[in-house]
A and B are shown apart, each in its own frame.
Chain A
Amino acid sequence: MTGRWQALLRLLAVQGTWNYERMLGVGMGYAAEPLLEDLKTVDPVRHGEAVVRSAEFFNCNPNLAGLALGATARAEYEDVPGPQIARLRTALCSPLGALGDDLFWAGLVPALAGAAIAAVVLGAGWKAIVVFLVVYNLVRFATAIWALSTGLDAGMRVGAAIGGSWVPRAVARIGPIAGACVGFSVPLVAGWYLRGFGWGGAGGALAIAATGLAMSRWFGPSLSSVRFALLAMALLLLFRGVGL
């Protein structure tokens, strides 16, 4: 099977056509195209069916999408019945979404961001931001390479390959690290920002933070952090405008 690197590069833009109907489907179809190219000469009918299947509804964390892409491409070459491949795609959506979200969005990103922010406050400067970007993208790219090759090697047995891989163990370990990094960075950043405002200013900002926290817990998603900030700024402008 040729086109691995081309498929890998295409996977980096797998969310390019994200929509509420097929979600990642078209992006997966676009990434699958180079992998399915050899099938065109061997079995043109099967190739056409495989292209249709590759662009159907699919959703998961984009960093682990290579597992599903590789597994389904291998299954197409192994002449696995189409409905079975469609079931595999459907079955992979939830676990790949949950594992990827826990690993990246709730783990690696907050851990690295917290560490980078704390490093900036402690004097590392812009180098900490560069290190954050380099490390995050290296991990992301290495994961994409691993995911695609594991999917291609495992085929229909990709579920067992995921279960026995480093991903579940990493998910269990990265959560506490992310919690500690974020917890460490938040008071540091607060102190850094509020240093020039004295105790009165710091108390005011902390009161606003406490109000925002209480209101967002009370009202839930209808009062997001951005909405609370805009509301607070509008109230500030209003009070200043009427001379309070």
Chain B
Amino acid sequence: MVRRRNARAIQRHAAALAAGESNAIRWLQYAGLARDGARGALLTGLGLAAACALARWLPINRETAVGFTLVAVGSGLAAAANGAVRSAGRGARLKWLAAGALAGTLVAVLR
């Protein structure tokens, strides 16, 4: 939404940009930063409000809480492993990833 609004603002100031008006560039940049800040504040507020509402209105017993934790940890592991393997490609990086994973597993087991 912020990116579309940025694009619309640029379209509105297309004539000023084509004329090389520095003021228009400055205004667009400040407005873009303000939109970004507003988006951050709004999403943070919504997230906190949703967390408060869920904590208050959604009763969760211990077993469900444990289940949620395991799902969250499992999903996080899947995301990390998927990202790591995908970005490693097939070269030296994949070998180093495997070596690191082996060392990490050993340390995790021995601790």
A residues in contact (CB < 8 Å) with B: 13, 16-22, 26-27, 29-30, 33, 47-52, 54-55, 106, 110, 114, 118, 122, 175-194, 197, 201, 204-213, 216-217, 225-226, 228-229, 232-233, 236-237, 240
Q: Are A183 and B32 closer than 8 Å at their CB atoms?
A: no
Q: Are A18 and B6 closer than 8 Å at their CB atoms?
A: yes
- B49 interface hit (Cβ, 8 Å): no
Q: Are A216 and B82 closer than 8 Å at their CB atoms?
A: yes
26 CB < 8 A contacts A-B: A18-B6, A18-B32, A19-B3, A19-B7, A19-B10, A20-B7, A27-B32, A29-B29, A30-B26, A30-B29, A55-B25, A176-B92, A177-B96, A179-B93, A179-B94, A183-B96, A183-B98, A187-B108, A189-B77, A191-B109, A197-B66, A205-B74, A207-B74, A209-B77, A226-B79, A232-B75
* B residues less than 8 Å from A51 (CB atoms): 20-22, 25
Q: Are B78 and A201 closer than 8 Å at their CB atoms?
A: no
Shortest distance from the beta carbon of B24 to any chain A beta carbon, whole Å: 9
Give A166 to B34 CA distance when docked, in angstroms.
36
Query: For A182, A211, A240, which residue has the most chain B Cβ atoms within 10 angstroms?
Result: A182
Residue in B32, B68, B72, B88 whose beta carbon sits within 8 Å of that of A17 in the complex: B32
What 7 A-B pairs are tightest by C-beta distance, nearest first? A183-B100, A208-B74, A212-B78, A225-B79, A17-B32, A191-B108, A229-B75
Q: Are B71 and A182 closer than 8 Å at their CB atoms?
A: no
Give A22 to B11 CA distance when docked, in angstroms.
10
Q: Mark B20-42, 1 if CB is under 8 A from A, else 0.
A: 11100110110111001000000
CB-based nearest B residue for A176: B96
* B residues less than 8 Å from A55 (CB atoms): 17, 25
Shortest distance from the beta carbon of A134 to any chain B beta carbon, whole Å: 22
- B70 interface hit (Cβ, 8 Å): yes
Residue in A33, A48, A240 whose beta carbon sits within 8 Å of that of B25 in the complex: A33
Q: Are A16 and B100 closer than 8 Å at their CB atoms?
A: no
* B residues less than 8 Å from A209 (CB atoms): 73-75, 77-78, 81
Q: Are B105 and A187 closer than 8 Å at their CB atoms?
A: yes
Q: Are A17 and B6 closer than 8 Å at their CB atoms?
A: yes
* B residues less than 8 Å from A50 (CB atoms): 20
* A residues less than 8 Å from B4 (CB atoms): 19-20
CB-based nearest B residue for A214: B78
Q: Are A52 and B75 closer than 8 Å at their CB atoms?
A: no
* B residues less than 8 Å from A18 (CB atoms): 3, 6, 32
Shortest distance from the beta carbon of A15 to any chain B beta carbon, whole Å: 8
Q: Are B75 and A179 closer than 8 Å at their CB atoms?
A: no
* A residues less than 8 Å from B31 (CB atoms): 17
Residue in B32, B76, B98, B108 whose beta carbon sits within 8 Å of that of A16 in the complex: B32
Give A211 to B82 CA distance when docked, in angstroms.
11
Residue in B71, B73, B91 whose beta carbon sits within 8 Å of that of A236 in the complex: B71
- B104 interface hit (Cβ, 8 Å): yes
Residue in A106, A228, A240 whose beta carbon sits within 8 Å of that of B63 in the complex: A240
Given A13-B33, A209-B81, decide whether A19 and B6 contact each other with a Cβ distance below 8 A. Answer: yes
Q: Are A26 and B25 closer than 8 Å at their CB atoms?
A: yes
- B50 interface hit (Cβ, 8 Å): no
Give A164 to B104 CA distance when docked, in angstroms.
36
* B residues less than 8 Å from A180 (CB atoms): 96-97, 99-100
Residue in A22, A54, A183 whose beta carbon sits within 8 Å of that of B104 in the complex: A183
